[in-house]
């Protein structure tokens, strides 16, 4: 079974530019989550999709972040315009059941550096 | 009070030692709990799930105390390969938004 795939693995962009991160969940997993870990801090929830619908986006830091999951398959997270404090590792995870009742499977993350 | 708090660590133990980490949570309605392991610059990977009073898997034992709202992870006969950061993960309010602890770093030395 293919795991959760994230692309790109690394991205270095200048402040003010736009970056789009992609996540392909495990096939059949309706639940898709985005998380972020900034340097020295704990992993923070960003948002949760159930199929193509946003179940909870309370963790999104501000309106520079836009997440989509058209068709309920892969998801994208766009940051526009990027700021220095957006640097960190962005993880995507998926699960079969809501609330991750049997745990989440994480992708290997996208390391974003804004300079 | 943070929603999930873990022992700050780091823990430095010799091979073969037994080590225990604690994690407290604030959401008394939480039903499921998880311990994840994260190696340096890697993604978190599920180590154990805890739904009732506890769970055991080989050298690893997780225990849950609902009255005191804490879970623990016990590692027996530590191996060098156990060196990692251990994350306590608890569903937040509403059951869906997941809260991660800051992690406890473990170093196992020969």
Q: Which residue has the higher pLDDT, B2 or A25?
A: A25
Report chain A residues touching chain B, CB-CB < 8 A.
33, 35, 41-45, 48, 55-56, 58-59, 91, 98-109
Q: Please report which confidence band the pLDDT of residue A100 belongs to, taking 50, 70 and 90 as the band edges.
A: low
Report the half-sphere exposure of B80 (CA within 13 A, side-chain side): 2
pLDDT at B91: 77
CA distance A35 to chain B (A): 10
Tokens of A93: 């995870």
Please tell me if residue B100 touches chain A, with a CB cutoff of 8 Å.
yes
Q: Are residues B99 and A58, on separate chains, in Cβ contact within 8 Å?
A: no
Q: Is the dihedral of CA A11, A87, A59, B9 positive or negative?
A: positive
Q: What is the mean pLDDT of residues A8-36?
A: 96
Tokens of A80: 């526009």
pLDDT at A1: 63
Tokens of B60: 């690893």
Q: Are residues B44 and A43, on separate chains, in Cβ contact within 8 Å?
A: yes
A26 C-beta neighbours (distance < 10 Å), count: 17
**pLDDT, tens only, A70-95:** 888 999 999 999 999 999 999 999 98
Query: Which among A92, A72, A90 is positioned nearest to A23, based on CA atoms?
Result: A92
Q: Please report which confidence band the pLDDT of residue A110 belongs to, taking 50, 70 and 90 as the band edges.
A: very high
Q: Which residue has the higher pLDDT, B52 or B20?
A: B20
Among the ranges given (B28-32, B87-91, B105-109), the one the predictor scored with the smallest mean pLDDT: B28-32
Is 60 exceeded by the pLDDT of residue A36?
yes
What is the rounded end-to-end Cα distance, in angstroms, of chain B? 37
Please tell me if residue B8 touches chain A, with a CB cutoff of 8 Å.
no
pLDDT at B1: 72
């Amino acid at each position: 079974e293919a795991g959760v795939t994230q692309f790109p693995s690394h991205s270095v962009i200048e402040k003010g530019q736009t970056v789009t991160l992609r996540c392909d969940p495990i096939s059949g997993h309706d639940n898709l989550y985005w998380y972020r870990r900034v340097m020295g801090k704990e992993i923070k929830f960003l948002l949760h999709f159930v199929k193509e619908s946003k179940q909870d986006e309370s963790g999104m830091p501000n309106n520079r972040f836009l997440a989509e999951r058209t068709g309920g398959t892969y998801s994208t997270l766009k940051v526009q315009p990027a700021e220095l404090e957006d640097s960190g590792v962005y993880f995507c995870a998926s699960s079969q059941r809501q609330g991750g009742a049997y745990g989440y499977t994480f992708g290997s993350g996208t390391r974003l550096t804004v300079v | 009070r943070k929603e999930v708090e873990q022992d700050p660590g780091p823990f430095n133990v010799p091979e073969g030692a037994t080590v225990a980490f604690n994690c407290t949570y604030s959401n008394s309605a939480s039903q499921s709990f998880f311990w994840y392991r994260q190696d340096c610059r890697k993604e978190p990977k599920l180590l154990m799930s805890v739904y009732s009073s506890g769970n055991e898997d080989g050298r690893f034992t997780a225990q849950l105390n609902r009255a005191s709202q804490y879970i623990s992870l016990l590692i027996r006969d530590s191996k060098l390969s156990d060196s990692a950061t251990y994350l306590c993960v608890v569903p937040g309010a509403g059951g869906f938004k997941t809260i991660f602890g800051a992690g406890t770093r473990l170093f196992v030395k020969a």
